[in-house]
Chain A
Amino acid sequence: MGRTLYDKLWDSHVIRAYDDGSALLYVDKHLLHEVSTPQSFIAIEKKNRRVRRPSANLAVPDHVVSTVDRHLPIADPLARAQTQRLVENVARHDIPFIPLNDKRQGIVHVIGPEQGFTLPGIVLACGDSHTSTHGAFGCLAFGIGASECGIVMATQAIRQQRARTMRVNFVGERSPFVTAKDIALALIARIGANGAAGHAVEYAGPVISAMSMAERLTLCNMSIEAGARVGLIAPDETTFAYLRGRPMAPKGEMFERALAYWRTLPSDSDAVFDRELTLDVSQVEPHVTWGTSPEDAAPIGSRVPSPDDEAEPTRRERRRRALAYMGLKPGEALENIAIDVVFIGSCTNSRIEDLRAAAAVAAGRRVADRVKALVVPGSGLVREQAEREGLAKIFLDAGFEWREPGCSMCVGMNGDTLAQSQRSASTSNRNFEGRQGVGGRTHLMSPAMAAAAAITGHLTDVRKLTGAAS
């Protein structure tokens, strides 16, 4: 019987298989950022251990860094200390590091692919749940906790339970402005925030084959919002073309050798998945979320649902709580919801393609009067390219703020936060209570939809603004 991509990645990294179904896996690469690793280094050093293979790691500060004054010291003493701690830790252990003032600096899940650190066929771990992003390259990438970061650094290995496999086949023609983000939200709305728990999800089908790496990264990024620790896409010519010439990718003859191996990775045609699902993207509309879980997503033309439609009590209770938190009433049209802040950024949607999509909507228009709108590129290189392409000017002319790269308002640890009861249109991945600031209310959507909301001041079907409505 044939093997799935997941099976191949798993099998090729088993150091030891245990009786209880778990296995010790070799970890090829480890990404580090400032927030999830201070305790990991303390654990390593308390026992006088060393990092086993420093060059298998790459560290960058991203979560707590200011997106305004890059040349100044970080104002918040705790954030400054945490960033400084990373600098010291990686120096002591000889770990490759991209410092804050380096133009390659950016969100860990943006720079991994950008630098060619992320490669097909590898096992990649990072103390961050959105590590699923990297699966877009056909590698086994998953988030781990701080203790596990310490284990990985000290041993280059991690014990894991094997996941069940699930394939989602995307078929049909997308209409304009239906992006990877909308497809991800539609999928999560259908299967639930827990719907893929215990599974490694492979995204497949003609829609995926036609996607750019940026869109694949967006889709795999959101896997964790469906409960799946691992998202996967088979590497193909799009993947290989993206990787060729990246600074940390193999070069010359070594690239060709790697390529020959990478071509063997896609799931065999007779491979059997534990679960299969088909989603017809021709039925998908641009989506927004209305609640406090990514599964609370709906087409922009619809209305806020009622908790009473939920039969199961804990689900009904969560919905009731979500609407109270969001300050919304059942039956309200989503398009009528006024917003205060727009955030275009995060590891989900801060790549150059995302900024182009948002700029295309913003061009020649103005951000609505009371709206504060931020564009935060995913990396310094994305920022530089956007400036070269004239996107930065489009944003600035339209009244957006053009920021330095980092996680920013996705998680609100760097001072970029929503105030109590403020409402955002955000291209990030989590609309949890308080995610963007205490009492802040988040509506998730694509970059083009967020730009449209910035222009009109309320949630908006971008197709109406651009004349693409059918």
Chain B
Amino acid sequence: MTGFKSIESLGAYMPEQNIDTDAIYPARYLLLMDRDGLGPYLFRDRRFDKDGAPKEGFILDTEPFSSAEVLIAGSGFGCGSSREQAVWALTGFGVRCVIAPSFGEIFAGNALKNGLLTLALPEEMVARIGAAAQRGARFRVDLEERILCVDNEIVASIDLPEGQRMALLNGWDETDILLREEGEAISGFEAQHRMAQPWLFSEQSK
């Protein structure tokens, strides 16, 4: 995964609440076992009819917003299924940052693993930013400086737990870090846990 530093782009606004991961990435494409190249399936049933013909009016297919790397939406974005394909489809399509009043928690966790920045901001601020996006405002999301700018004006600070910010900035492989830095702690914990709750370690469940 490549690190997230800063982006500058238009913003695409979907003023709608509870956009779920089934809408973002329909279940039937979960049969594909890839994680790359899923952009074409993003919001598939909003963008295409049954026969694959494009539908009118979907914001990410409407010029000039098809190039937007920032998506702005109502609360509960990414609620529902845990499918990471929702994130892979967004990044595959070119979306790098989603701004909403709140997110599905599993979605937000998945985003973090894939360099997609989720930015939770107050509802009325999101509505204001969304309106600016509709007028074609330029967004700058800078994770090093921790600021969100709309038309060169700082509108919010980016307030992420430091561990998450560093992970995004550096695009680290989390398993590598855990095995390298916490391997001993994990083993130590495991040994204690085995003593305290031996019934969890009787290797009988095969």
- B-binding residues in A (CB < 8 A): 15-16, 18-22, 24, 26, 28-29, 35-36, 38-39, 42-43, 47, 49, 55, 58, 63-64, 76, 78-79, 81-82, 85, 96, 117, 119, 121-122, 127-129, 142-148, 150-151, 154-157, 159, 161, 193-194, 197-198, 224, 227, 229, 248, 250, 254-255, 257-258, 261, 293, 295, 312-315, 317-318, 321, 411-413, 420, 430, 432-435, 438-439
Contact = CB atoms under 8 A, between A and B. Distances in A.
A227 B104 contact: yes
A229 B113 contact: no
Interface of B: 15-18, 20, 22-23, 26-28, 30-35, 45, 50, 74-76, 79-84, 87, 102, 104-106, 109-110, 113-114, 123, 127, 161-164, 173-176, 178-179, 182, 185-186, 189-190, 193, 197-200, 202-206
Contact of B84 (A82, A142, A145): A145
B185 A24 contact: yes
A159 B199 contact: no
A411 B82 contact: no
A143 B82 CA distance: 7
Given A129-B82, A315-B17, A117 B205 contact: yes
Contact of A20 (B23, B104, B161): B161
A154 B16 CA distance: 38
B15 A154 contact: no
Pairs A-B, 8 closest by C-beta atoms: A250-B199, A20-B161, A145-B110, A314-B74, A78-B31, A145-B84, A38-B33, A147-B113
Nearest to B173: A47
B193 A55 contact: no
A430 B82 CA distance: 13
Contacts of B23: 432-434
A224 B84 CA distance: 16
Contacts of A122: 200
Contacts of B30: 35, 63, 413
B175 A49 contact: yes
A36 B25 CA distance: 14
A22 B162 CA distance: 10
B105 A229 contact: yes
B108 to A, nearest CB: 9
A198 B32 CA distance: 31
A295 to B, nearest CB: 8
Nearest to A155: B178
Given A128-B82, A318-B18, A197 B102 contact: yes
A248 B205 contact: yes
Nearest to A248: B205
Given A24-B185, A227-B79, A64 B102 contact: no
B202 A314 contact: no
A351 B83 CA distance: 25
A64 B109 CA distance: 25
Contact of A193 (B18, B127, B198, B202): B18
A39 B26 contact: no
B186 A314 contact: no
Nearest to A261: B197
Given A26-B189, A314-B16, A432-B23, A147 B110 contact: yes
12 contacts: A39-B35, A63-B30, A78-B32, A151-B174, A157-B186, A227-B102, A229-B106, A314-B16, A317-B16, A432-B80, A433-B22, A438-B26
Contact of A227 (B76, B198, B202): B76
A64 B31 contact: yes
B127 A18 contact: no
Given A258-B199, A318-B18, A435-B27, A161 B161 contact: yes
Contacts of B82: 36, 127-129, 143-145
Contacts of B178: 24, 151, 154-155, 157, 159
A63 B81 CA distance: 13
B172 to A, nearest CB: 12
Given A129-B106, A227-B79, A314-B15, A55 B22 contact: no
A434 B80 CA distance: 13
A254 B198 contact: yes
Contact of B33 (A82, A128, A194, A295): A82
A433 to B, nearest CB: 6
A422 to B, nearest CB: 13
B116 to A, nearest CB: 12
A154 B75 contact: no
A147 B114 contact: yes
Contacts of B182: 15-16, 24, 155, 157
A42 B76 CA distance: 30
Given A258-B199, A438-B45, 10 more contacts: A22-B163, A119-B200, A154-B175, A155-B175, A155-B178, A155-B179, A155-B182, A194-B76, A227-B76, A315-B74
Nearest to A55: B203
A85 B202 contact: no
A119 B201 CA distance: 13
Contacts of B17: 314-315, 317-318
A144 B76 contact: no
B91 to A, nearest CB: 12
Nearest to B73: A314
B114 to A, nearest CB: 7
Contacts of A143: 82, 106
A146 B161 contact: no
Contact of A197 (B28, B105, B127, B185): B105
A317 B127 CA distance: 13
A355 B200 CA distance: 32
B73 to A, nearest CB: 8
Contacts of B200: 28-29, 119, 122
A96 B174 CA distance: 26
B12 to A, nearest CB: 15
A42 B175 CA distance: 13
